[in-house]
A and B are shown apart, each in its own frame.
Chain A
Amino acid sequence: MDLIDIVNILAQTVRLATPLILACLAGLYSERAGIVDIGLEGKLLASAFTAATVAALTGSPWLALLAGIGGALLFSGVHGLASINFKGNQTISGVALNFLAAGLTTYLGTSWFKRGGFTPQLSADQRFGPLQLPFAAELRNVPIIGPIYSGLISGYSLITYFAILAVPITAWVLFRTRFGLRLRAVGENPKAIDTAGISVTLLRYQALIITAVLVGIGGAYLSIAAGAGFIPNMAAGRGYIALAALIFAKWKPWPALLVCLMFGFLDAVQLRLQGIKFPYIGEIPVQAIQVLPYILTVILLAGFIGRAVAPKAAGLPYTKER
Chain B
Amino acid sequence: MINFNRHLAALAAGVAATAMIAGAALADPALLYDGGGKYDKGFNESAFNGATRWAQETGGTFGEIDLTGGDAQREQSLRQFAERGYSPILVPGFNWVSSLSTVAAEFPDTKFVIIDSFVDLPNVKSIEFKEQEGSYLVGVMAALASKTGTVGVIPAFNFELLEAFACGYKQGALSVNPQIKVLQNYVGTAFEAFNDVAKATEVANTQIDQGADVVFAVAGGAGNGVLQAAADRGVLSIGVDQNQNYMHPGSVLTSMQKKVDVATYEAFKSFSEGTFVADHTVLGVAEDGVGPAFDDNNASLITPEIKAAVDDATAKIISGEIKVHDFRSDKACPV
Contacts and interface: CB of A to CB of B under 8 A. Distances in A.
Interface of A: 5, 8, 12, 15-16, 19, 107, 110, 114-118, 121, 124, 129-130, 221-222, 226-229, 231-234, 236-237, 267-268, 271-272, 274-275, 286-287, 290-291
Given A272-B206, A274-B185, A118 B198 contact: no
Interface of B: 36-37, 39-42, 44-45, 68, 158, 183-186, 188-189, 192-193, 195-199, 201-203, 205-206, 209, 221-222, 224-225, 228, 232, 247
A232 B39 contact: no
A231 B205 contact: no
A12 B37 contact: no
B222 A231 contact: yes
A234 B197 contact: yes
B192 A227 contact: no
B202 A271 contact: yes
Nearest to A11: B205
A227 B197 contact: yes
Contact of A226 (B39, B195, B225): B225
B221 A232 contact: yes
B192 A15 contact: no
Contact of A227 (B36, B188, B198): B198
A121 B224 contact: yes
Given A231-B197, A236-B193, 14 more contacts: A15-B202, A16-B198, A19-B198, A107-B68, A116-B41, A130-B232, A222-B197, A227-B198, A231-B221, A236-B195, A271-B202, A275-B185, A286-B158, A290-B188
Nearest to A106: B37
Contacts of B201: 226-227
A22 B183 CA distance: 32
A121 B195 CA distance: 15
Contact of A271 (B44, B158, B206, B228): B206
A290 B185 CA distance: 10
Contacts of A237: 192
Q: Which of A15, A107, A222, A275 has the most chain B CB atoms closer than 10 A to its own CB?
A: A275
B232 A234 contact: no
Nearest to B200: A227
Nearest to B41: A115
A235 B1 CA distance: 51
Contacts of A116: 36-37, 39-42, 44-45
B229 to A, nearest CB: 10
A-B interface, 8 closest residue pairs, ranked by CB to CB distance from nearest: A116-B40, A114-B39, A227-B197, A226-B198, A236-B196, A231-B221, A233-B195, A8-B209
Contacts of B232: 124, 129-130
A234 B196 contact: yes
A228 B184 contact: no
A53 B39 CA distance: 17
A191 to B, nearest CB: 42
B209 A5 contact: yes
Contacts of B45: 116
26 contacts: A12-B206, A110-B39, A116-B39, A116-B42, A117-B40, A118-B40, A118-B41, A118-B224, A121-B224, A121-B247, A124-B232, A129-B232, A221-B198, A227-B198, A231-B195, A231-B197, A232-B195, A232-B221, A234-B197, A234-B221, A236-B195, A268-B202, A271-B206, A275-B183, A287-B189, A290-B186
A113 to B, nearest CB: 8
Contacts of B203: 271
Contacts of B186: 274, 286, 290
Contacts of B36: 116-117
A291 B186 CA distance: 12
B332 to A, nearest CB: 13
A181 to B, nearest CB: 36
Q: Which of B68, B198, B205, B209 has the most chain A CB atoms closer than 10 A to its own CB?
A: B198
